[in-house]
Structure 1
Amino acid sequence: MTTGQQSGDATTLKMTPRTKLLVWAVLGAAGVGLGVALPWLLQHAASWPIPYFTVLEAIGSIDSPLMVIGRPAALGLVGLTIAFFITHEAATLVLTDEEITVTEGDDTRIIERGQVGGVYARGGKVRIESPEGRILFHDDVEGGKLAIAAAFRRHGYPWESIERDPKAAAR
């Protein structure tokens, strides 16, 4: 999901707060679920050749109230930590007719209009290349391919991927 906010002559492509909340909820719940299911999973994995399995088995077999609550809580916290890094490091692109400002985590850089030779989607990621073919940006950008393409085209950047509108194809 993307926020295609337009303020004056700028368009911002970034992860929406709703998407961030969804990532936090899913990864936190997955950690808690893994903590609850860990004893059962370890019992079924006993036949696998896993190094140090006896240590894992011992941890999974502890049924004290502290471990029954602590395992899901600790793994839920691990899930939330991973969610924090995912949402914090998600790329934000601010497009204007003159430049693209890319912010990833605490790092911000500017790609001048003259540096951009082509923009396209590649493998689920947006790729910005210079006229010489140097990769200036290649990462996930939140939102659908059509919305991202429209944002780049609106500011006159050379979008090179071919989009097919699923609604038009159904007609």
Structure 2
Amino acid sequence: MPGKERSEVRGKAHGEVRGRTTELGHPWSDLLLLLVGTPLVGLLLGLSVPRLARWVSGSPVLPWRDGVEFLGRLDAPWQTGLFVAAGLVAGVLLVLTALSEDMRLKLTDERVRVEQDGRSRTFERADVSAVFLDGRQLVLLGTDSGQLVRGEPAPRAAALAEAFRAHGYPWQDADPHASLFRRWIPGTPDLPAEIHALLAARQAARERKAPRDARDLVDTVRGLGYVVRDEGAQQYWRPLAGA
């Protein structure tokens, strides 16, 4: 049995190729910056809080002046230590949140596994009709043109394109169905009332910063024959191919 081949995926992404398996995650440079830089910035901000508070307290239009001036007086060594500890903890929490929200990919010639928001999903190569980037988000479409996956991946664009093409996936330079999307206008007769209700619920989920709920509603809408995407604060829709 041949030994496992291992090499780094080109395109400056952190990836591993084992035989015919490619794993893609954070580029090493980005990972180092995230793991070291973010907590360091939090630590420095914590160290600077009293000094910054004293500096801004001289502004004539400063809101919450009493609170800012109070922070400026907290410059005892133990108080500075608390600020530093709080800034460091905040930086670490930001790193953990960023890592948990990023998409990780494992590709073979037969299937792709996507890890996102603590969930792992696997799709057969034969069930993927298109792969492309929509802005900074990676999108996989199914054979019915419905959205299988959408999210911001850790790897960079060049590494994504190279990896998917190397394993024979239909990488596209843009959404092949982009011209079919129409802006959602509540109450338009072009959509059934059930879809309007789901899109209204999804808009509310987006406004309250609940991305997982919004993604779950995308899956529900797809089951009824439609695809949803966002442009800024607006939702756009199209029917599934052949619907």
Do Structure 1 and Structure 2 share a fold, with TM-score over 0.5?
A: yes
Over the residues paired in the alignment, what is the CA RMSD in angstroms?
Answer: 2.3
Structure 2 length as normaliser, TM-score? Answer: 0.59
The answer (yes or no) to whether the contact 2:114–2:120 under 8 Å persists in 1 is yes
1:90 is displaced (CA, Å) by: 2.4
- Provide the TM-score with structure 1 as the length reference: 0.80
Distance 1:54 1:130 in 2: 57
The answer to whether the 8 Å contact 1:119/1:126 transfers is: yes
Superposed displacement of residue 145, structure 1: 1.6
User: Unmatched 5+ residue regions in structure 2?
Assistant: 1-11, 175-243
Secondary structure, in 3 states, of the residue corresponding to 1:142? Answer: coil
Partner of 1:110: 122
Match of 1:20, as an amino acid? L
For these two proteins, the number of residue pairs brought into alignment is 161
> Which residue of the other structure, out of 60, 65, 74, is the alignment partner of 2:86?
74
Q: Which has the higher contact order (CA 8 A, sep 6+)?
A: 1
Q: In the alignment, what sits opposite 1:160?
A: 172
1:101 is aligned to: 113
CA–CA distance in structure 1, aligned partners of residues 18 and 168 of structure 2: 17
Distance 2:140 2:73 in 1: 51
2-side partners of 1:122 and 1:40: how far apart?
A: 43
2:52 is the alignment partner of 1:41: yes
Tell me whether 1:9 sits opposite 2:6 in the alignment: no
Contact 2:50 2:75 (8 Å CA) reproduced: no
Structure-2 residue corresponding to 1:59: 71
Q: Which residue of 2 aligns with 1:165?
A: none
Higher CA-based Rg:
2
1:80-159 → structure 2 map (5 Å cutoff): 80-104=92-116, 106-159=118-171
SS class of match (2:83): helix
The gaps in structure 1 that reach 5 residues or longer are 163-171
Q: Give the conservation status (yes or no) of the 8 Å contact 2:110–2:125.
A: yes
Q: Which range moved further: 108-117 or 14-23?
A: 14-23
